[in-house]
Amino acid sequence: MNKFFMACIVAGLLMTSCAKKETSSVPDFDAPPASAPEKVQEIKAEDPMARITEGKSLIEGTDCMTCHKTDSKLIGPSYLEIAAKYDNSPENLELLAGKIIDGGSGVWGSVPMSAHPGMSRDNAKKMVEYILSLRVN
């Protein structure tokens, strides 16, 4: 019985030692240092194409397509018409993002564009970035 008991203990120790995660003496340079705060803020340049793609997705996920189409007038102007009218400048980006959020009328006719007050300015800008990316030079 003693040999069986000793064999079980040895087997248990071997299994436990094999199951432990090995640690390397080579430092992990991708990990923040131990003294760094838990949340390390990275500064990244945002990919313009990612913003344009997200803008298109935001448009498709809202009520925009009820009144606008990409290449032809519906109730409001087409996105191609908007892109042709407004050059891609920071001022126009702000102007058009404001129109998405606040609504408006008179520029393209008498039918008012509905406001979207719950939309963030950044999302509205992404939508405008997509629309203005359609501009044909």
Please tell me the distance from the alpha carbon of residue 128 to that of residue 71, in angstroms, as a whole number: 15
Q: Is residue 14 part of a domain?
A: no
Based on the structure, what is the number of domains in the chain? 1
Q: Is residue 1 part of a domain?
A: no
CATH of the domain at 124: 1.10.760.10
Domain that holds residue 98: 48-133
**Span 18-28, pLDDT tens digits:** 444 444 444 44
Closest CA to 76 of 116, 105, 40, 117: 105
End-to-end CA distance of the chain: 90
Q: Is residue 3 part of a domain?
A: no
Q: Is residue 38 part of a domain?
A: no
- Vertex 13 angle, CA 10 and 17, to 5°: 140
Selection from 7-11, 31-35, 98-102, 103-107 with the highest mean pLDDT: 98-102
Global confidence as pTM: 0.66
Q: Is residue 101 part of a domain?
A: yes
